[in-house]
Structure 1
């Protein structure tokens, strides 16, 4: 597996990221299931433990270099901290906010990612990516349909979580320039898990058989989701992948129906249609850009 940044196949990156976000939506559904019984740090620790074990074994088999030798080791630590803050804020805000408010506020992240990709990565963001990003957010608002103003503190928590997640996706793109996907997964999840373990004396609850199965399943799904997303960032710029995150809302409603028999209202279907249309705009835009780049190279 190459550790270098490929950045020549944006459509491949979009496909990989879309599959990764589908996994993350399943992850959210599992956490929603478990959060009534277990505390967030314990759930996130078990998730991280599975990722560390799988990625660590694969790193050893493939002879990947240690993250300690990376020029981006400080960036990896920062990203782990941002992810920890984002997940803790997001899942704790879920205790006070309904799905509509929670989803609408959190999906400010892709727009923040576009802005950060300009400021930090110096990426050129074309009209197609802006249209897809703004259109996708409009679809989220329509689908979520907030019926009342959320509580101030949980709302602020969710917005900060969105900012931290957006910043962490920018750092994925940055670190991917030199580090392999497995190295990033191992280092980030190890730091993430150690931070969560500090709270065990106060929050640990020994899982029953069902709890162990759910937590291990969560870890496996999170491992696959992380791998797909990290690989996606090797092929496509962060600004191109930001609107793809909106597809996670569609998966969230699909999982909600499959697990809890939740039937979306008409506005959900309308919002989903707008999200799909925005994603298609993105695909067509990237396809046209890819063809133009090839023609210039051949000229």
Structure 2
């Protein structure tokens, strides 16, 4: 069942989601640098979600909202999501916060490339030019021949952006029949045991502050994901992902307040190219979407 679209509401949800995701990555980087290993961070990110959602649904009498006929699809989404989480959190720990955030903005570039190679979509010169512009920005941020940037961190960040293209469309598809809280619950339900398999090899003793940060990662991540899923339920993917760029503002502020580090000159030059490329692609997708809708309406009128 197709739901009515509420584009402005969807944009507002995505902006709030971007703020929470920036907070999440700040916490991941901080606790990761304190010595907590990546697999354990991933486990607590998911494990904390389950009691939050189950408690809320039980209190409101909404446990029936977890009924689904699409468990296999939720499972595939969880496999992709956990893989993407490993890439994402790994890049966040290895790179400065602003730089890892900027790499996430390459998702629209990969969306165009995958659309051309996999879906055989016709891509016009505007979008191809935007892709070239965006990847030029990535090269600048990587600073080849300049300051040392973690090659592994850059690779993980780009893989994260690539996987996020598929995940956005998975969530969009699930949103046709599932509520956001249902999608988030099953991601955690499948993802927690996946991450738990690694705990015997990586779990260590933690300080009270580390435990607080791990719990906060789960809480903040849960609400960030709920808002992201809701934005894709009420708005088109190409439109709402533009609001993800606001995340760079918060990442820069966190980097300055906590690590006393501002983005490098290369990032200041490269980031606008990546952001501009993403906005051109989103604008073009919006125009094409309106054109397709108009042509469909005209076809219906002619056949009536």
Q: 2:71 is matched with which residue: 70, 73, 94?
A: 73
Question: The residue matched to 2:55 in structure 1 has which SS?
Answer: helix
Partner of 2:302: none
1:43 and 1:35 mapped to 2: Cα distance?
A: 8
Q: TM-score, normalised by structure 1?
A: 0.76
Partner of 2:195: 196
Bigger Rg, which one: 2
Structure 1 residue 185 displacement after superposition: 1.1
Structure 1 residue 16 displacement after superposition: 1.0
Native 8 Å contact 1:106 1:159 kept in 2: yes
Partner of 1:23: 20
Question: The residue matched to 2:69 in structure 1 has which SS?
Answer: coil
Given the superposition, is the C-alpha separation of residues 279 and 97 from structure 1 closer, same or farther in structure 2, using an over 3 Å criterion? closer
* Cα deviation digits, residues 224-280 of structure 1 (max 9, x gap): 211111111111111222333333223211211122222345565566667777788
Native 8 Å contact 1:114 1:238 kept in 2: no
Given the superposition, is the C-alpha separation of residues 264 and 89 from structure 1 closer, same or farther in structure 2, using an over 3 Å criterion? closer
Native 8 Å contact 2:112 2:131 kept in 1: no
Native 8 Å contact 1:52 1:190 kept in 2: yes
Question: The residue matched to 1:65 in structure 2 has which SS?
Answer: helix
Given the superposition, is the C-alpha separation of residues 238 and 135 from structure 1 closer, same or farther in structure 2, using an over 3 Å criterion? farther
2:279 and 2:150 mapped to 1: Cα distance?
A: 35
Q: Does 1:11 align with 2:3?
A: no
Structure 1 residue 209 displacement after superposition: 1.0
* Cα deviation digits, residues 136-180 of structure 1 (max 9, x gap): 947964984634486766554443332222211111100010111
Structure 1 residue 33 displacement after superposition: 0.5
Native 8 Å contact 1:100 1:146 kept in 2: no
Question: The residue matched to 1:244 in structure 2 has which SS?
Answer: helix
* Cα deviation digits, residues 98-149 of structure 1 (max 9, x gap): 6676455543323334566799999999999x59x75994796498463448
Partner of 1:252: 251
* Cα deviation digits, residues 209-232 of structure 1 (max 9, x gap): 111111122222112211111111
Given the superposition, is the C-alpha separation of residues 231 and 283 from structure 1 closer, same or farther in structure 2, using an over 3 Å criterion? farther
Question: The residue matched to 1:59 in structure 2 has which SS?
Answer: helix
1:101 and 1:261 mapped to 2: Cα distance?
A: 15
Task: Give unpaired runs (5+ residues) of structure 2.
Answer: 298-304
Question: The residue matched to 1:206 in structure 2 has which SS?
Answer: coil
Structure 1 residue 66 displacement after superposition: 5.9
Q: Does 1:40 align with 2:38?
A: yes
1:152 and 1:166 mapped to 2: Cα distance?
A: 22
2:95 and 2:84 mapped to 1: Cα distance?
A: 16
Question: The residue matched to 2:46 in structure 1 has which SS?
Answer: helix
Task: Give unpaired runs (5+ residues) of structure 1.
Answer: none
1:157 and 1:175 mapped to 2: Cα distance?
A: 26
Question: The residue matched to 2:224 in structure 1 has which SS?
Answer: helix
Larger mean CA deviation between 24-33 and 234-243 belongs to 234-243
2:235 and 2:186 mapped to 1: Cα distance?
A: 23
1:192 and 1:65 mapped to 2: Cα distance?
A: 21
